[in-house]
Structure 1
């Protein structure tokens, strides 16, 4: 009987593919002259797309192996199932794996002869919707893969039985399970390989009902790529005839935990086992009837020796235990594990080799086999008796019985999957966690958010998302370097994580953005909102405390946007609204939190409409220029400031205060600014032919983006050359705040333009923060007194003192000084008395089209 046990063990190994054989030799088929275009849809573990875009899974790995042997070049095309079928029929892809044969499909596709795999489908649902017979589908919403064999069956069944079955036809099995989990469908249909593996993730259970098994093939368009199919058929025939082939290795590898349900075995493998058992029984019968023959005994001994050799060469731990859990047989791999000869292991129990916890768990599993007669497939974590080593094994254990059915022993096959589990954990870490902070990344956050959203749809509870953005993080990176920035992000992640519950999710969304997901809050939005608000205040407080970075103390703040689940209709909208709330917090001065407000959406829509109109205005040249004259105290016109105007057919006249900041943010200010510069220079060129206006200048305002654009100097140079304008008549106005960022680069550009003859005016002087030490280095020609000082000149002595100081400073630096915002005669006369020589304002002239500019103005008060 021990021999029988060993033979059974060998058969089990053969069926599961643990015995490996050399790779099939290359066929003589000529390699394809063109790349073989392969359609791939997501249906793991049968077929899936790997990280490098190539096919994987059972069908994918088999095809890649054949392609390698045949020197085929595979060109993968990822598509959903229905679209893959269309591409195959149209000839846009050459071959499609994992296609179930049917007479109808045989009219449109070609198949090879030998099935690559067998599969069957099952119904999956939440526990309360489980069905036991097809008639119970009436009135149910059934999610089924579009154009699949299950789809055709259910349509025909519904028509024949006249049942009201609502078919929700989806593009992927993942989508089918999502519909059921979200309560938008009652039942999902999937093949058992996919379904048994993924059901638990969606809290679904399999129904006992099953579809009839189907044969699965590689398919091509009808009548095409026949040589490819013939080659695949050759490999499959040879592989399936050899239990040690690459085919069985591949099926076994994808049958490991984490790929398919532990009890699922393909029908093809079951047939292999059945055939082997029949052969074995025949051989045993022959041996029984001829056991007295010396020749037969010799052959039996030889077979046993061969079997022992095979079992000792297999990369798996094979053993037999009796009903008292004592080892009766071990192969070489077990002896190697225990560090003892087989004869020193037989007769002992696991307590000699493993720690107490391991022994206890092993006994539980062994008793299930020996007492209940179960065949089990379990992952077992085994720790040595001294606790020095821990390994994970995939163990298959089955009962061995006498002829009368009595169990006398168990046969076990344990494969060390420790490295595989470690690799899985490493891959999972890389796929779902941020490498810097070890927090969940965007992908894992979205998965958990989907689960929380689905849960909130099934039970009365509220949830929230908090978008956290560090204020001025870029300044830290630019001044202290990215290494210090990374250290800050790590410390921020640690502080935030310490303030959250275990059920909360903290993720790094990207850059310096973090997201907190709060699930299962109070169902009442007001109570849930109070909980979220308290947490937001706590997070802002903890982040405001100093950080120790690079031997220095650094303090930051954060802006937090909050959106409740009740604020949105789906998770994309929820994230978008939390992001909007965060930007609202930043616009309100940073270092604060803001809840999403529906008014924000209206602002965003209005801003979007304005942005669209701005692009249209640029392309359709809807802008115009107005000019506000600038005068000398003697009444002579010196020139004008160029002011941009926009009139939209739908929006009407749009204030520059509205569209200029938007143009700055969107980058449209660069082409708009280039247009203003070109139009201004062209106007200067036109005036050169008018003796009264030939010396007039035009002051053109610069934006921050223009000033820091690397091509700005070249743009000004080319525009002057193309229009023929006198560079000395072009005045570029910039503000003090524009000088704060990279002032050295600004000085270089100003010097380059100054060499062309272009002049510079410092606008809004006295309101910025630039140092006077920089002021003397700037190649300026004019200072412009800000209108805020002129407005209160007559009432505020401080403003008069500031203006007097600016005039004195301009005089000492040999800079012209012009006062803007002059609106009354009293202001004008006061400025003249202080020594101001140049003026601009509504008193002297409002902005107007160029045709309305006067050549001289009557000086007020004279």
Structure 2
């Protein structure tokens, strides 16, 4: 039942046997702080999940911070107004999704880094036909009671002299229901909640947008400063990392690739708002010249308009025909770092670099000279080039009554953060974070496009499936960090040897795919071209890598499938390339193979064998053979149980043909239970014979079987069912068991050891086990691998390895037995080196139990 072992270099074996490392770690437990959090329904930003926990974008971010800070979050469900009151009086510690305002800052404390950006928008039924702020006259508008939106909208209506009825509601859902029931014409909501819920209520977003805001977590004034500091620290760290939990959360709650950077409605809304505001300004100026008695009212109106323009989170400005600033709101002055008096009369040359000035003036002249309305993205850089920001700009002409243009009005919204977020979301969705290469999703998109293009271009293509050889050994021996470094270096080497028009992607793990396009349809020429590329890649990947200052060699196997031979489907093409890669592995690795029909035949044969194996398990078509284990005098000490498959048509099948298949399909679990049960029944038979009751039974256990959660219970159940003596049962493990959760492995061994079960480490010397682990494992015996015994008489290195193993066993009070002993000369050499126990063809082949019972009465196992 032992899988074939791969023998490393002799020097690696000696080094592995003599290495020693100890790793100790002590967990540190921190006391959790209870944090009361107000939760009101404002999907997708904040809501109470079905499990009673805080959910939504801000809820999941707070859960992650709480996990890392050891906080215990206690949700407090409440409506918006109640939550706000509870936060102000300190009943709750944190309230998510709070827009900052000076009035609230007098009652609440906010952290510095905004958790989200949003704006307010009106939602209505289709027939309401709300297109601008003027359409709100005499309308009923639902708005969240005592919210910033309520105050801001009332101020906006007053500035235009409009009368509208604002209906206070306690929740946004209540406001949407009022519109649905036609008890209101529109409802004001933040954009995230509105876009998320509007389809459910059969409402639509209107072009009326206002008040861009920054959202925070808030707490009672003068309280919980440490909570806010921790939130700020996590938000800053997340914003700097493209793979952070922040961007993953945004993507999970609706971060699919957006088709527009900013909604088109925003552009029209801002443009219409600017036009209305500027019309009001022009009217105010005209009235001031014509009607002296209305000067006071005009100044008051102008002050209100300036207040509105200064409160908008957008850069609003007016330029004359000489492109000099005639007006700038607060945001423009903050951007330039000077007061309004030092902005008016200046041009862009005073604030931006030459390239930015040229681009801005080109757009400005289209407005002033041609009367165009310009909507575009503008990238502005400071004169020293240190600051670069992206804006969505809407520019429109301002006209005299006769239609002549006297100035332009511009509204520029900073979308730099939004652009960065989109780029990070796009990278998360379509690129591998470790290597920066396209991931499976992007590869499939490009592959589908390439297959569609092939029919029109009359050119061929190929898929190269690249898999690193023995990559798992690197992770197991050097650690996953070194494995990641190797993957990054492999990606760099591959990228530097492929054409720009080709696609190189990482599918995951150590699998890479190269898609070649534009190949000639003539097979000899295209195959030669592909083979040249693949051979070069094999050569490049086979050159030494430097990992932590040490040289390491790795190779790769490449499977190749042509577009023209894959029947035009992606799945068939990927499957063929994958099969060809496995054919390259089977051919000895570090090579390439093209797909051919014989590969499919092998796959079919393997499927047939798997089906036969499943049926044989049900039909009990397996038998156990036993190979004797003897002492120096040739006396029988015990036997190793080895499974054989009694196939109904193929006869007796050796384990090398079906054990690897059983491992890969999971059938090793029921097969392993049957082997253990049959071996224990044989122990019971021997126990009834006073001359054989001391014999031991060695049973191989696969790594998959041992690490199964029910393994210990299965072994104990078999011992109880059969009545076998646990002290005569010896479970053989290999060093491959040590690569998975050694601590859990030791716990299982101790549990079985407590019942008397013995353990042997099989194929010792062929792996990379640490002596620090070996010292901790409750072992009874080491088995010298047959590869060292085979060349013992002709290879001094093998002799040194055997001598080291024997000395190690003596030093650690472990029995040592040599496998694969076939000649008397080998046995005598092992005796000279101190080995006293043997197993091999010299003493007997694996045979049925009846043949083993013909041996002379065995010696007491304890005597050797």
TM-score using structure 2 length: 0.58
**Separation in 2, partners of 1:746, 1:344:** 74
Residue number among 186, 192, 200 corresponding to 1:237 in the alignment: 186
1:667-706 to structure 2, matched below 5 A, reads: 667-689=666-688, 702=700, 705=703
Q: How does 1:36-47 map to 2 (within 5 A)?
A: none
Pair 319,806 (structure 1): closer, same or farther in 2 beyond 3 Å:
same
Mapped partners of 1:483, 1:330: distance in 2: 53
Q: Are the aligned partners of 1:495 and 1:543 in contact in 2 as well (CA < 8 Å)?
A: yes
Residue in 2 aligned with 1:412?
A: 410
Matched, 1:774 2:773: no
The 5 Å alignment of 1:374-773 reads 374-456=372-454, 458-524=456-522, 526-568=524-566, 569-619=568-618, 621-625=620-624, 642-647=641-646, 655-689=654-688, 702=700, 705=703, 719-720=718-719, 722-725=721-724, 737=763, 739-741=765-767, 742=769, 752=779, 766-767=789-790, 771-773=802-804
Measured after TM superposition, the shift of residue 318 of structure 1 is 1.8
Match of 1:806 among 827, 847, 854: 827
Contact in 1 for aligned 2:207/2:266 (Cα 8 Å): no
Deviations 1:545-593 (A, max 9, x none): 2223323222222222333333544334433433333333223222222
CA distance in 2, matches of 1:656, 1:669: 12
Provide, for residues 375-434 of structure 1, a one-character-per-residue CA deviation record: whole Å limited to 9, x for no partner. 221001122344443322111012233444444432211122223323333443444444
For residues 700 and 653 of structure 1, what CA distance do their matches in structure 2 show? Answer: 22
Q: Distance in 1 between matches of 2:267 and 2:330?
A: 31
Alpha-carbon shift at residue 720 of structure 1 (Å) = 4.9
The whole-number CA distance in structure 2 between the counterparts of 1:649 and 1:774 is 43
Change (3 A) 1:597 1:252: farther
Task: Specify the alignment match of 2:96 in structure 1.
Answer: none
Contact map agreement 2:207 2:269 (CA 8 A) in 1: no
- The 8 Å contact of residues 739 and 746 in structure 1, kept in 2 or not, is answered as no
Asked if structure 2 preserves the Cα contact closer than 8 Å seen for 1:765 and 1:785, the reply is: no
SS of aligned partner of 1:518: strand
CA 1:598 to 1:519, structure 2 compared with 1: closer, same or farther past 3 Å?
same
Moved more, 573-582 or 410-419: 573-582
Given that 2:319 and 2:408 are in contact with CA atoms closer than 8 Å, whether structure 1 keeps it comes out as yes
The residue matched to 2:589 in structure 1 has which SS? coil
Q: For the structure 1 residues 363 and 679, does the alpha-carbon distance in structure 2 shift closer, same or farther, using more than 3 Å as the test?
A: same
Distance of 1:856 and 1:506 partners within structure 2: 64
Change (3 A) 1:69 1:582: farther
Structure 1 contact 637–855 (Cα < 8 Å) conserved: no
Distance in 2 separating the partners of 1:240 and 1:854: 87
Cα distance, 1:811–1:708 mapped onto 2, change above 3 Å: farther
CA–CA distance in structure 2, aligned partners of residues 631 and 292 of structure 1? 121
Deviating more after overlay: 539-548 vs 418-427: 418-427
Contact 1:543–1:558 under 8 Å retained in 2:
yes
- Give the equivalent residue in structure 2 for 1:265: 265
After superposition, the Cα gap between the structure-2 partners of 1:745 and 1:678, relative to the gap in structure 1 and judged at 3 Å, is: farther
Spell out, residue by residue over 1:221-240, the C-alpha distance to the aligned partner (whole angstroms, 9 max, x if none). Answer: xxxx9998348777873429
| 8 Å CA contact 1:785, 1:803 repeated in 2 | no
- Residues 849-860 of structure 1 mapped to structure 2, 5 A cutoff: 855=854
Change (3 A) 1:712 1:264: closer
Give the CA deviation at 1:750: 9.8
Provide, for residues 410-468 of structure 1, a one-character-per-residue CA deviation record: whole Å limited to 9, x for no partner.
Answer: 22111222233233334434444444333334444444434434433553333333333
Question: For residues 167-316 of structure 1, what are the structure 2 equivalents within 5 Å?
Answer: 229-230=177-178, 237-239=186-188, 248=210, 259-260=259-260, 264-265=264-265, 294-316=292-314
In structure 1, the residue corresponding to 2:790 is in which secondary structure? coil
Seen in structure 2, the aligned counterparts of structure 1 residues 635 and 385 have a Cα distance that, compared at 3 Å, is: closer
| Greater RCO (Cα-Cα under 8 Å, separation 6 or more) | 2
In the TM superposition, 1:116-131 aligns within 5 A as none
Give the Å deviation of 1:526.
4.6
**In 2, Cα distance between the equivalents of 1:600 and 1:320?**
72
Aligned mates of 2:644, 2:358 — CA distance in 1: 84
Contact 2:763 2:784 in 1 (8 A): no
Change (3 A) 1:428 1:807: same
Alpha-carbon separation, structure 1, partners of 2:648 and 2:175:
65
- Larger Rg belongs to: 1
**Residue 231 and residue 748 in structure 1: after superposition, are their counterparts in 2 closer, same or farther (change >3 A)?**
farther
**Per the alignment, do residues 613 and 313 of structure 1 end up closer, same or farther by CA in structure 2, a change over 3 Å counting?**
same
1:328–1:346 CA contact under 8 A, matched in 2: yes
Question: Which residue in 1 is equivalent to 2:743?
Answer: none
**Contact 2:806 / 2:834 at 8 angstroms: preserved in 1?**
no
TM-superposed deviation, 1:662: 1.4
Structure 1 unmatched ranges of 5 or more: 1-25, 39-48, 55-64, 73-111, 120-224, 790-801, 821-835, 842-846, 858-862
Partner Cα separation in structure 1 for residue 352 and residue 773 of structure 2 = 74
TM-aligned CA distance change 1:475 to 1:228, over 3 Å: same
Pairwise CA RMSD:
5.6
Which secondary structure does the structure 2 equivalent of 1:382 belong to? strand
In structure 2, the CA distance between the partners of 1:321 and 1:656, relative to structure 1 (3 Å rule), is same
In structure 2, the CA distance between the partners of 1:369 and 1:613, relative to structure 1 (3 Å rule), is farther
Query: Aligned in 2, Cα 1:690/1:391: closer, same or farther, shift over 3 Å?
Result: closer
- Counterparts of 2:189 and 2:707 in 1: how far apart (Å)? 67
Q: Given the superposition, is the C-alpha separation of residues 396 and 730 from structure 1 closer, same or farther in structure 2, using an over 3 Å criterion?
A: closer
* Mapped contact 1:670–1:705 kept (Cα < 8 A): no
Point out where structure 2 has 5 or more consecutive residues left out of the alignment: 1-38, 62-76, 85-122, 131-172, 192-204, 216-253, 733-759, 792-797, 857-864
Does the 8 Å contact 1:731/1:761 carry over to 2? no
Aligned partner of 1:172 in structure 2 is none
Q: Output aligned runs, 1:129-148, within 5 Å.
A: none
- What is the alpha-carbon distance in structure 2 between the residues aligned to residue 631 and residue 339 of structure 1? 91
Helix, strand or coil at the partner of 1:603: helix
Closer/same/farther in 2, CA of residues 372 and 115 from structure 1, 3 Å limit: same
Distance between the aligned counterparts of 2:339 and 2:446, measured in 1? 51
Change (3 A) 1:785 1:422: closer
**Structure 1 CA distance, aligned partners of 2:41 and 2:543?**
72
Question: Are the counterparts in 2 of residues 785 and 806 from structure 1 also a CA contact under 8 Å?
Answer: no
Normalized against structure 1, the TM-score is what?
0.58
The question of whether the paired residues in 1 share the 8 Å contact of 2:434 and 2:488 is answered with yes
Query: How has the CA–CA distance of structure 1 residues 474 and 240 changed in structure 2, closer, same or farther, with 3 Å as cutoff?
Result: closer
**Structure 1: distance between partners of 2:175 and 2:409:** 45
Q: Residue 164 of structure 2 corresponds to which residue in structure 1?
A: none
CA contact (8 A) 2:679 2:699 kept: no
